[in-house]
Structure 1
Amino acid sequence: MTGHDPISQHLQDSMNHWGSGTDDPAMQQAMERSIAAHHALATSPGVTFEAHEDIVIVLHPGFELLDMVGPYHFLAAMIGATMHLATTGDVTEPVRSSSGMPITPTTTLDDAPSAPTVLLIPGGETGVLTSDTHAINAIRRLGQNAELITSVCSGSLALAAAGLLEGRRATSHWSVRHLLPGHGAIEVDERVVEDGNVLTAAGVTAGMDLAIRLVARFRGDTYARFLELGAEYDPQPPFGSGTPDQAGPELTALSRDFLAPLEEQLRAP
């Protein structure tokens, strides 16, 4: 393996990761198979093996963890992409998710790339974000220069509050999706909705669907299918109650009441 092409560099990084194990004949053979597989993927028709996307994911207090981690898993697997976790606060302070897990940011909204390839807003306690005037202004600025504007779950309401969904078809978590028209957007009941350079995903797990679509857009369908296989992304929910229609009116009413404060926070002024 020679040269400084993207494949060679990525393979060198992989070998360094395995370290002393590469001295073992069986491991050497395994690495040779891996090298061949890397080249096969990189040279597959329609595949862009490496590019240099800037992915900005906004972290606000009380963000929904899976809204961020799900897309991050797939988008970070695009070799050469740079992931920016942009906090609405101080970059030295971890941002606590709605489930309590803290995530360390890498930048602030003010210092994030001014023209990101992808701007992604997760949901969660979105009222905290929409009430932060500085953050909403920064999201508006970044969105106006972004190649793609995206959201997961109630994050679309933050995009709407920033004026980025005016006249656009969009979706959100089922409990707040009906609020989109009040902010100038067009409500659509779909898992992922694309309107021009705006892509919005429904609740939580739909963020992974969104991310896989983004990978296909930037790196080709084969690359996206490869990552989908690697993640064994084959959802088979044990109860099949992931939508109001599937859950039934009683459970849906309970869930809607549970989320009533969020709904009230996100109503248009």
Structure 2
Amino acid sequence: MTNHHPQDTAAAAQKHLATLHDAFTATTGGEISDPAAQAAWDRSATAHNALAARPGVTLSGDENLVVVLHPGFDILDVIGPYYFLSSMIGATIHLATTGAAAEPVTSANGLPLIPTTTLAEVPKTPTVLLVPGGDTKVLLTDPAAMTMIRRLGTTAATVASVCTGAIALAAAGLLTRRRATSHWSVRHLLAGYGAIPVDERVVADGNILTAAGVTAGMDLALTLVGRLRGNDYARFLELGAEYAPQPPFGAGTPDTAGTELTALAHDFFATIEHDLRAH
């Protein structure tokens, strides 16, 4: 959790409210003349202050969170966590490319994202280093990127991954003798890199947090929010996002999908498993 004095938190909350007030009254010259609008503003301001006053909550902070963008990253591995992490007032998220600055990085799904910085230029001691999955072989075969991940992983307050991103962390030597998870199809490969595979959705081992496949990145992000800003802050974001999954087919894990479909999927991902195996 971030270390803020109560008076600092209160001041940050008031500064945030002032910014919101300016945005709310941008078209009315800084004044609220409509009684209904004034009542809405009063309710919102009171709620902001009430949230800030809840035990354990830090409403505004100054965290630096580094999300690695490598070619072929899984889009939801980044966007899912980004949604919740960017909701932390005052936090800065660095979308750090492993390539050239300002060049869009195309995800495995074909959607490009524009990075905000390069991996070489991010803060040297980030609050969080987050490595997404996707075409993780691209990272494993990029010595410069792996060197930077290894360096940042030793200085970051928290090191995290989503899906096959855990394989990159393990290959960088950051998961040695650590409990960790990854996508179910490659989780067993962690042992070959010296990690301890665990079949759980989010695994915390000290300052290392790893998430299982793709959608588990949102669970990871909420866990991080709870650690950094308090559990009630994370619960508030979970409610605001209406994050209450009800998958229509209930086949999201090997246990629920059944042996036949799981075997098919395992074979489908065989080339990925081969590429990520420790040699």
TM-score interval w.r.t. the shorter chain?
over 0.9
Establish whether residue 105 from structure 1 lines up as the match of residue 115 from structure 2: yes
TM superposition shift of 1:5: 2.2
Residue 226 of structure 2 is matched in structure 1 by: 216
After TM superposition, the structure 1 = structure 2 runs for residues 86-235 of structure 1, keeping only pairs within 5 Å, are 86-235=96-245
Q: Counterpart amino acid of 1:168?
A: R
TM-score (norm 2): 0.93
Q: Counterpart amino acid of 1:152?
A: V
Question: In 2, Cα distance between the equivalents of 1:205 and 1:236?
Answer: 13
Residue 7 of structure 1 is matched in structure 2 by: 13
Question: In 1, Cα distance between the equivalents of 2:22 and 2:114?
Answer: 26
Question: In 1, Cα distance between the equivalents of 2:15 and 2:170?
Answer: 41
Question: In 2, Cα distance between the equivalents of 1:177 and 1:216?
Answer: 25
RMSD: 1.2
TM superposition shift of 1:49: 1.3
Question: In 1, Cα distance between the equivalents of 2:22 and 2:265?
Answer: 49
Residue 27 of structure 1 is matched in structure 2 by: 37
Residue 257 of structure 1 is matched in structure 2 by: 267
Residue 75 of structure 2 is matched in structure 1 by: 65
Q: Counterpart amino acid of 1:13?
A: T
Counterpart among 240, 246, 264 of residue 250 in structure 2 = 240
Residue 83 of structure 1 is matched in structure 2 by: 93
Question: In 1, Cα distance between the equivalents of 2:168 and 2:33?
Answer: 52
Q: Counterpart amino acid of 1:90?
A: A
Q: Provide Cα deviations, 1:115-156, integer angstroms capped at 9, x if missing partner.
A: 110000000111111111100000000000010010000000
TM superposition shift of 1:172: 0.2
TM-score (norm 1): 0.96
Q: Provide Cα deviations, 1:70-106, integer angstroms capped at 9, x if missing partner.
A: 1111111111111000100012101111111111101
In structure 1, the gaps of 5 or more residues are none
Question: In 1, Cα distance between the equivalents of 2:238 and 2:245?
Answer: 11
Q: Counterpart amino acid of 1:10?
A: H
Question: In 2, Cα distance between the equivalents of 1:91 and 1:248?
Answer: 45
Structure 1 stretches of at least 4 aligned residues deviating more than 2 Å after TM superposition:
15-25
TM superposition shift of 1:37: 0.4
TM superposition shift of 1:23: 4.3
TM superposition shift of 1:17: 3.0
Q: Provide Cα deviations, 1:203-229, integer angstroms capped at 9, x if missing partner.
A: 011111111111111111111111110
Establish whether residue 37 from structure 1 lines up as the match of residue 43 from structure 2: no
Question: In 1, Cα distance between the equivalents of 2:259 and 2:71?
Answer: 31
Corresponding residue SS for 2:160: strand
Q: Counterpart amino acid of 1:30?
A: A
Moved more, 68-77 or 137-146: 68-77
In structure 2, the gaps of 5 or more residues are 1-9
Corresponding residue SS for 2:220: helix
Q: Counterpart amino acid of 2:188?
A: H
Corresponding residue SS for 2:65: strand
Q: 1:31 to 1:69 in 2, by over 3 A?
A: same
- Equivalent pairs counted in the alignment come to 266
Residue 4 of structure 2 is matched in structure 1 by: none
Question: In 1, Cα distance between the equivalents of 2:27 and 2:225?
Answer: 33
Corresponding residue SS for 2:27: helix
